[in-house]
């Protein structure tokens, strides 16, 4: 697991870090004079876990937030929870034949990545795989948008996404790519075993090499397209939720 220092901001993101990964939270900054009871809860929880807490001016929080709305709280985080490719095999093995992996090929918008991580956490995914290059990484905006999910879901940063997919196939993981023009439907798949669902970024969707490493390309049926031709695709975070919770439905039915 790789480590780096960074600031995380926002009530949900900081509260989740304090609750789930307190050993890596070095200090918490709270806006002096703020009356939000959620901030008082964070302060109490942080002090209970021997995390340093400081009251600072709003300008100080503005400085560490880097333009992200901080809601009066920030935390210095000594380790961002990201995994490398070599950790993925163990995560799949630990899933006992029920691995559910979300692969995001080139998502650029941090709000989209944060929303995808939030859905992934709710669906209980084994891991989320993102490319190290040409894609947004887990930053302060992602952490805030994910409402703490970035601290509870293993995020694997892949140097070579095609090679990562090939390695997953060797472990018995079926790779399904989501593309709008595919004839096969998502709802025709058996998603109860080791499965990776691969979704593309906001612009061009799945890259050619990524498509070639999928076992099958499928689409989400959208009957409304016939009525409203301008609606040709779903936002990647919405599509992620649809796909993941179809897998959840199958696994609980």
Write out the binding residues for S-adenosyl-L-methionine. Answer: 200, 220, 234
DSSP one-letter string for 103-155: EEES---HHHHHHHHHHHHHHT-SEEEEESSSS--S-HHHHHHTTTGGGTS-E
For residue 202, give every residue at least 6 positions away whose Cβ sits within 8 Å of its Cβ, in sequence order, or none: 107, 108, 109, 112, 235, 236
Provide the annotated binding site: 200, 220, 234
| Distance in angstroms (rounded) separating the CA atoms of residues 232 and 224 | 9
Task: Establish how many alpha carbons lie within 13 A of residue 2's alpha carbon, considering only the half-sphere containing its beta carbon.
Answer: 13
80 burial (CB, 10 Å; 0-12 / 13-18 / 19+) is buried
Cα(189)–Cα(253) distance, integer angstroms: 14
């Amino acid at each position: 697991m790789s480590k780096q220092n960074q600031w995380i901001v926002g009530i949900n993101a900081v509260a989740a870090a304090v609750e789930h990964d307190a050993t890596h939270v070095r200090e918490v900054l709270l806006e002096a004079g703020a009356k939000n009871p959620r901030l008082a809860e964070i302060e109490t929880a942080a002090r209970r876990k021997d995390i340093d807490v400081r009251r600072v001016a709003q300008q100080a929080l503005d400085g560490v937030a880097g333009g992200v709305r901080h809601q009066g709280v920030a935390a210095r985080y000594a380790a961002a929870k990201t995994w490398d490719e070599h950790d993925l095999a163990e995560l799949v093995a630990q899933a006992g034949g029920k691995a559910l992996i979300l692969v995001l090929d080139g998502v650029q918008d941090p709000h989209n990545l944060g929303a995808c991580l939030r859905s992934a956490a709710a669906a209980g995914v084994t891991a989320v795989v993102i490319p190290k290059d040409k894609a947004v990484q887990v930053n302060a905006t992602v952490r805030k948008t994910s409402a703490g999910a970035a601290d509870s879901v293993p995020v694997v940063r892949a140097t070579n996404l095609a090679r990562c997919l090939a390695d997953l196939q060797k472990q018995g993981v079926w790779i399904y790519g989501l593309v709008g023009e595919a004839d096969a439907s998502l709802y025709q798949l058996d998603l109860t075993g080791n499965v990776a669902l691969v979704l593309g970024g906001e612009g061009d969707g799945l890259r050619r090499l990524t498509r070639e490493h999928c076992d099958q390309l499928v689409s989400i049926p959208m009957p409304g397209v016939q009525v409203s031709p301008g609606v040709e695709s779903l936002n990647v975070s919405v599509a992620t939720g649809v796909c993941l919770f179809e897998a959840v439905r199958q696994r609980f039915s």
